Structure 1
Amino acid sequence: MKQTFLLLLDMVFVAVAIWAAVAFPFGRTDFTIGAVEIFCAVFTILASAVVFLRLGLYRAVIRFMGQQAIWAVITAVSYSTLILGASVFFTRADTPRSMPFFYWCLALLLIGGTRLTVRAYYQAKLRSMSKNVIIYGAGESGRQLLTALHHGDQYRAVVFVDDDTCLQRSVINGLQVARPEDIAQLIDEHNITQVLLAIPSASQERRREIIDSLVGLPVHVRTVPKINELVAGRASVNQIQDIDLDDLLGRDPVPPYPELIDRCITNKVVMVTGAGGSIGSELCRQILMSGPSELLLLDNSEYALYQIQRELNQMMQENNLDVEMIVLLGSVQDQRRLETIYRTFDVQTVYHAAAYKHVPMVEYNIAEGVANNVFGTWYAAEAARKSGVETFVLVSTDKAVRPTNIMGASKRFAEMLLQGLAQRNTKTRFCMVRFGNVLGSSGSVVPLFREQIEAGGPVTVTHPEVSRYFMSIQEAAQLVLQAGAMGTGGDVFVLDMGEPVRIIDLARRMIRLSGYEMQLDARLADHIDIEFIGLRPGEKLHEELLLGSSVTGTGHPMIMRAEEECLPYSQMQRHLVELMRYCDVMDCDGITSVLNAAVSGFGGHEARHDYLWRKQGKVARKKSIAKVIPATAPASNVQELFPDKS
């Protein structure tokens, strides 16, 4: 219906142009029109309708029509003019010789001009509704981004900004290129709301310098994907996104050594426990690119396993990889299933990422948290030893160092179990990898801050002085993979993560990069407050990576091997039996007492927050352990923990 109306309107324009093309040379409108002239006009109108339809003048959306559509109008009017001229010539119609020229000009003005007018009207309307933005980077990516923005109604680019002095003060695609020093002035002049970084090939250091220069300006800083994502086809220039998590780090990412990553993976059977989690899924992505012969994914979450399986299948298709992938539902607390899996698939390398890591959540569920983190690690490691697995790598945390919470203590206890196993005569190499907070992982602070900023605040910070070590999720996975190649048995590896980052500074940086201020500014209507809510159960102000100061170097300049004391294997056995006894009856005081005795720096912790413990009225109530549980562990439990024990 719309196309029919436009076609009829154009034919009206053709008729008006024919009439006016005759009237202009005569200089009057009361001229006589004969039958031959009427035939020429009717024939031109009908033939022009066919030509206009064949050239696709009505397929283009007028308000978005571009250069190609304009050329189609010129071509169509030119053909219409040739038809008119031919009909006049062959019928010998009585018309001025200049009539075809006037007709071409008038038809082009009426048919093309109305389209351009409609397009200009819609673009003006869109500009009034769109946000004014600055494109930082006038290179190829910046120009592509500008073209993409022209076809949308969300953003309107008003100026380029570039560091290249050769480009400054020039005009590219209708936009002037300004200096970075002029950004603050441009923001005021043009009411800029966002700065879009179109510098995908810039180094990490240069990106950070640019982002630091924009912190504090009343604009939301966003970016296009990096050059490796664009080249790989995983993203396009018009996919505008928030600042990368890597850009929030206060240091350069630690570069990986590919030969270390490949050593325990390439052409080997590799298994990842907790494969659906944040760290586990990133491990799977990087392992897949190193070419294992088989990749086994184990998780007790059906949905998480399904999601990572879909993603990895897509990765294999995009990168033309041929890796056999096996997805397995199961719990790391099922030692028999683990041992069956290891033996059936002849697993050579295990990355143990299955754990409960959320500090307050484990404080609320002490028995289950300890059972998963401690016994899950023990069963997975013992099954690996018995099955002849070559390398077993535990994903640990900086919260295991002088812990103030059950989660950290359970992870340190798991580390000590592996150190104890490494003391035995075993073919399996056991090692641990300890790192700080992972940006973007589930339950981490960055996604929480982003949600709070999008909701308008406030941003909640536990304490003004709280600080944490941070690393990207890619770095964390690379560290785990490289450590497996360097371990000799019982090793604890840590990353040189630079200085810890204050959470309050991270919150301020994210707020400012989102275009807000922390307090109401006379110039700005939008602001987001920071609210201090106090430390959560088990949290401490500052995390550490090392128990002592004794560290040695490794094959990687940014990875250190910690020299830490550990308990004899026989003593760890006794603690493990005690811990299982207390977990069986969900005695939180008993669990805490074992962790206090075994884990250095964990003394004085009390079970005050466990939901079951509180509901049962046992919080802060000291009881005689002998009255609650038997003095010796049940024989079945000992056999389950130490099946080869006589």
Structure 2
Amino acid sequence: MRSLRERFVGGGLRYAVMTHDLVMVWLCWQLLFLGRYALLNEAPPQPWFSLDVLVVIALQALAFWKVGLYRGLWRFASVADLINIFKASFIGLLAILVVFSYRRLEGIPISVLVVYPFALSALLGTPRLLYRAWKDYQAVNSDARARRVLVLGAGHAAESLIKDLRRSGDYEPVGLLDDSTHLQGAKLHGTPILGRLDDVASVARETDAKLLVIAIPTLDAAGMQRVVGLCESTGLPFRTVPRLADILDGNSLPGQLKEVAIEDLLGRKPILPDWELIRGWLRGRTVLVTGGGGSIGSELCRQCARHGVAKIVVLEISELLMINIQAELRRNFPDLQVLGLLGDCGDPAVIRHALSRYRPDTVFHAAAYKQVPLLEDQLREAVRNNTLATECVATACVEAKVENFVFISTDKAVDPVNSLGATKRYAEMICQSLDKRSAATRFLTVRFGNVLGSVGSVVPLFREQIRKGGPVTVTHPDVSRYFMTIPEACLLILQAAASSSRGAIYMLDMGEPVLIRHLAEQMIRLAGKQPGVDVPIVYTGLRPGEKLHESLFYADEKCRPTAHPKVMEAGVREFCPELVLGNIAGLRRAIADYDIDAMREILLATIPEFRAVEEPCSANAGAKIVPFPSKEAGRIH
């Protein structure tokens, strides 16, 4: 709440501005009369003060108030303010014509009325623009130590950026760079365009720039990689302006500079989902998310809340994660019903209770263990949590006649060589088997690669290693992975869930796989350091269960495009559903007896392509990366 003094000062300034404007109305009216009769060498009949003049001032004041002229500040006067001034002047003219029409405008020359709105707009707008220019000049020159900034880009984002930099007083824009030939030599708000983006190193030296700012938010990942490389060649720190999507999602503020994130360099354009389809499908639904406090589960809750669900039920085994996601959802979506159930989704009593009490329309099964090296020594927990818990939730959904069951899988399930991949592949087959037996519940599987920023992923690990000065550990020089962001992963889930298919497996077109060593090198550079010089990279050898390369689908899954150009659908492979579902009882007995050998035998018998790796360093050494299929294949809906 503002203090009494602040209110008094603010009110006084507003009254001073109003007084200034009314004086300008009086001055404009008198000058127009003087000019009109001076041209005729006659004395003006209009006295300096009269009833007519007072009526004109009153009518114009009413027009100012109606247009809302005093909601803005002179300090930030802009074209929009000038438009409002002209609008108010024109409305004032119309009011004068109406009021004085009773005497047919006697004593008021037509020439005065014609020029009046333009002259008044000039008298009101000029002081505002001069005041803003003066304040901007003060901001630039108030601190001789203002940081000199070279801006890359000369579009709308750069225009707004220059205004913000000058307004802050802490930065001084010394020039711009842009590849558009018609802009060379021009100026943007007085700041010259000094060359092309490739000239950044020489221009930065000539202008003594201390900071580079990338003001091209529309750049795709390939373009951002090029610009980042140019910035790195200068040795100067660099920042970027946020993308519009980041601002709308509340992740960044307008005008806020941010460091270039590794997500900006994925190597492909962000996926744009079919919002109309997703919102139409989600609106008014009740959804249950298992593992709703984890990396994927929590973002899935946010996306569902953002796009119109009526109720979200979070099933989570961690009380801390449960508290965090419930508090966040209730804070950001106060009208949304957020319910929580603490428990293990692999416990039949827990999942039956959740389904009978909350009656969800859709269940998103995101709960899982996912750390490859750890699970190689923890096969029992991998089977219990990834396979049997999935069967438990899926079977309960069939019994409760839940409309949709969406299973979150992984690219490790393709030709699995580790416990994570095998247990997830078994869970995929369980879902496809139940889909054939259930008419009421529709089963879908969403399969994607590594998720940037998720708990336990390589990016947070590299970031922490770089912060400590290294070394950054990479398993193998040639190891590669597909990457996507957490929001993209969740939007893929929603896009697939909103489709009309049954039993299918959906995948995101994630572009080309990324070499992990290149990822490590890029992250080191983004931290302002040199790989191998400031931060060493150490190759440790592939860990148990790791491949050199991952694939997104089996060769015989007949992967084909969907209605969305970046989402692909894989058909159901040939397997025996009776064998898949029949071996679950054996897995449960092996779990109860902690019989690792029996579990492994069941997995090998059920998933013929599963071959556990004995020598991790040779894993998948000759593997080929299966390319994403052409969009020329038959399009389905």
Alignment correspondent of 1:135:
151
Q: Is the 8 A contact 1:363 1:406 kept in 2?
A: yes
Matched-pair identity in %: 40
Alignment correspondent of 1:31:
none
* TM-fit CA distance, 1:432: 0.6
* TM-fit CA distance, 1:607: 12
Alignment correspondent of 2:327:
310
Pairwise mapping of residues 244-393 of structure 1 onto structure 2 (< 5 A)? 244-316=261-333, 322-393=335-406
Of the three residues 452, 457, 475, the one matched with 1:462 is: 475
Change (3 A) 1:172 1:255: closer
Pairwise mapping of residues 132-171 of structure 1 onto structure 2 (< 5 A)? 133-139=149-155, 141-142=157-158, 145=161, 158-165=174-181, 167-170=183-186
- The one-character-per-residue Cα deviations of 1:247-269 (angstroms, maximum 9, x if unpaired) are 22112223211243235422211
Cα distance in 2 for partners of 1:303, 1:469 equals: 30
Alignment correspondent of 2:602:
594
Cα distance in 1 for partners of 2:416, 2:395 equals: 25
**AA at the equivalent of 1:531:** V
Of the three residues 189, 193, 205, the one matched with 1:177 is: 193
- The one-character-per-residue Cα deviations of 1:369-391 (angstroms, maximum 9, x if unpaired) are 22111121111111111001001
Cα distance in 2 for partners of 1:120, 1:263 equals: 50
Q: Is the 8 A contact 1:214 1:513 kept in 2?
A: no
Bigger Rg over Cα: 1
Q: Is the 8 A contact 2:503 2:572 kept in 1?
A: no
Change (3 A) 1:146 1:258: closer
Cα distance in 1 for partners of 2:516, 2:174 equals: 35
Alignment correspondent of 1:475:
488
Cα distance in 2 for partners of 1:292, 1:468 equals: 34
SS where residue 339 of structure 2 aligns?
Answer: strand
Q: Is the 8 A contact 2:222 2:267 kept in 1?
A: no
Match status 1:401 vs 2:418? no
Change (3 A) 1:460 1:196: farther
* TM-fit CA distance, 1:150: 6.3
Q: Is the 8 A contact 2:316 2:344 kept in 1?
A: yes
Q: Which has the higher contact order (CA 8 A, sep 6+)?
A: 1
Cα distance in 2 for partners of 1:374, 1:465 equals: 31
SS where residue 256 of structure 2 aligns?
Answer: coil
Of the three residues 542, 547, 566, the one matched with 1:535 is: 542
**AA at the equivalent of 1:223:** T
Cα distance in 2 for partners of 1:296, 1:371 equals: 23
Change (3 A) 1:548 1:193: farther
Q: Is the 8 A contact 1:193 1:515 kept in 2?
A: no
- The one-character-per-residue Cα deviations of 1:217-243 (angstroms, maximum 9, x if unpaired) are 534443222123446765324432222
Change (3 A) 1:138 1:396: same
TM-score by length of 1: 0.67
Q: Is the 8 A contact 1:342 1:387 kept in 2?
A: yes
Cα distance in 1 for partners of 2:161, 2:468 equals: 28
Cα distance in 1 for partners of 2:266, 2:381 equals: 33
Cα distance in 2 for partners of 1:584, 1:195 equals: 61
Change (3 A) 1:540 1:160: same
Q: Is the 8 A contact 2:198 2:230 kept in 1?
A: no
Change (3 A) 1:203 1:392: same
Alignment correspondent of 2:529:
516
Cα distance in 1 for partners of 2:248, 2:274 equals: 22
Cα distance in 2 for partners of 1:512, 1:214 equals: 10
Change (3 A) 1:154 1:601: farther
Alignment correspondent of 1:239:
256
Of the three residues 574, 582, 587, the one matched with 2:582 is: 574
Cα distance in 1 for partners of 2:504, 2:268 equals: 26
Match status 1:428 vs 2:435? no
Q: Is the 8 A contact 2:451 2:485 kept in 1?
A: yes
Alignment correspondent of 1:603:
611
Cα distance in 1 for partners of 2:199, 2:140 equals: 30
- The one-character-per-residue Cα deviations of 1:119-161 (angstroms, maximum 9, x if unpaired) are 999945x55xx6x653323455445545655687987655433
Change (3 A) 1:181 1:373: same
SS where residue 380 of structure 2 aligns?
Answer: helix
Change (3 A) 1:156 1:257: same
**AA at the equivalent of 1:137:** G
Change (3 A) 1:149 1:427: same
Change (3 A) 1:433 1:538: same
**AA at the equivalent of 1:267:** G
**AA at the equivalent of 1:396:** S
* TM-fit CA distance, 1:576: 1.4
Cα distance in 2 for partners of 1:309, 1:607 equals: 44
Change (3 A) 1:258 1:565: same
* TM-fit CA distance, 1:185: 1.4
Alignment correspondent of 1:565:
573
Alignment correspondent of 2:78:
none
SS where residue 555 of structure 2 aligns?
Answer: coil
Q: Is the 8 A contact 2:221 2:265 kept in 1?
A: no
- The one-character-per-residue Cα deviations of 1:538-558 (angstroms, maximum 9, x if unpaired) are 111000111224223322232
Cα distance in 1 for partners of 2:283, 2:580 equals: 34
* TM-fit CA distance, 1:566: 4.8
Change (3 A) 1:228 1:560: closer
* TM-fit CA distance, 1:188: 4.3
Q: Is the 8 A contact 1:294 1:325 kept in 2?
A: yes
Alignment correspondent of 2:511:
498
Cα distance in 2 for partners of 1:233, 1:497 equals: 25
Change (3 A) 1:234 1:332: same
SS where residue 241 of structure 1 aligns?
Answer: coil
Change (3 A) 1:306 1:171: same
Cα distance in 2 for partners of 1:239, 1:217 equals: 23
Residue-pair matches, total: 479
Cα distance in 2 for partners of 1:294, 1:121 equals: 55
**AA at the equivalent of 2:333:** M
**AA at the equivalent of 1:337:** V
**AA at the equivalent of 2:580:** M
Cα distance in 2 for partners of 1:152, 1:458 equals: 39
SS where residue 423 of structure 1 aligns?
Answer: helix
**AA at the equivalent of 1:334:** D
**AA at the equivalent of 1:134:** L
Change (3 A) 1:139 1:551: closer
**AA at the equivalent of 1:226:** R
Change (3 A) 1:423 1:119: closer
Q: Is the 8 A contact 1:245 1:440 kept in 2?
A: no
* TM-fit CA distance, 1:413: 0.9
Cα distance in 1 for partners of 2:284, 2:262 equals: 32
Cα distance in 1 for partners of 2:258, 2:163 equals: 17
Cα distance in 2 for partners of 1:536, 1:465 equals: 14
Cα distance in 1 for partners of 2:397, 2:422 equals: 23
Alignment correspondent of 2:553:
546
**AA at the equivalent of 2:432:** Q
Cα distance in 1 for partners of 2:268, 2:180 equals: 25
Cα distance in 1 for partners of 2:416, 2:142 equals: 62
Cα distance in 2 for partners of 1:186, 1:532 equals: 38
Cα distance in 2 for partners of 1:607, 1:574 equals: 32
**AA at the equivalent of 2:374:** M
Alignment correspondent of 2:432:
419
Change (3 A) 1:483 1:171: closer
TM-score by length of 2: 0.68
